[in-house]
Amino acid sequence: MKKILSIILSIAFLFSVVGVAMAGEYTGKPIQAKLASEEIEGDFMTVWARNFSDHMKKWSDGKIDITVYPYGTLGATGDINELAQMGVVEFVFSDYAWISSFVPQAQVLALNYLFPTEKVPEVLYWMVKNGDFMPLLEKKFRKNGLVPMAIMYEGWQWVTSKKPILKPADMDGLKVRLMSSKLLVEDYKAYGASPTPMSYGEVYSGLQMGLIDAQVNPLFAIYSMKFFEVQDYATQLKSEPFLGIPTVNQAFFESLTKDAQEEMRRFWVESIIPAGTWIDNRNQSDMAKMKKAKPDLKFTVLEDDAIAEFKAKAETVYPKFTNIGGEGADEVLETLLTDIQNAKAAVGLK
Selection from 264, 282, 276, 246 nearest residue 347 by Cα:
276
Same domain, 115 and 231: no
**291 found inside a domain:** no
**287 found inside a domain:** no
Selection from 296, 309, 255 nearest residue 28 by Cα:
255
Q: CATH code at 165?
A: 3.40.190.170
Q: How far is CA 175 from the centre of its chain?
A: 23
CB 317 within 8 A of CB 182: no
CB 140 within 8 A of CB 326: yes
Domain that holds residue 186: 156-240+296-346
Same domain, 118 and 8: yes
What does pTM read for this prediction? 0.92
**27 found inside a domain:** yes
What is the number of domains present in the chain? 2
**288 found inside a domain:** no
Same domain, 64 and 161: no
Same domain, 216 and 76: no
Over residues 67-123, the pLDDT tens digits come to 999 999 998 877 899 999 999 999 999 999 888 889 999 999 999 999 999 999 999
**132 found inside a domain:** yes
Same domain, 129 and 250: yes
CA distances from 32 to 36, 107, 259 (A): 14, 31, 17
Same domain, 104 and 136: yes
Same domain, 193 and 76: no
Same domain, 274 and 323: no
**169 found inside a domain:** yes
Same domain, 236 and 247: no
pLDDT along the chain (350 residues), means of 10: 44 47 72 97 97 97 97 88 95 92 94 97 98 98 97 98 96 94 95 91 95 96 97 97 97 97 98 98 98 98 96 97 95 98 96
Nearest-angstrom CA–CA distance, 2 and 24: 38
Return the pLDDT at 10.
47
Same domain, 177 and 76: no
Same domain, 215 and 98: no
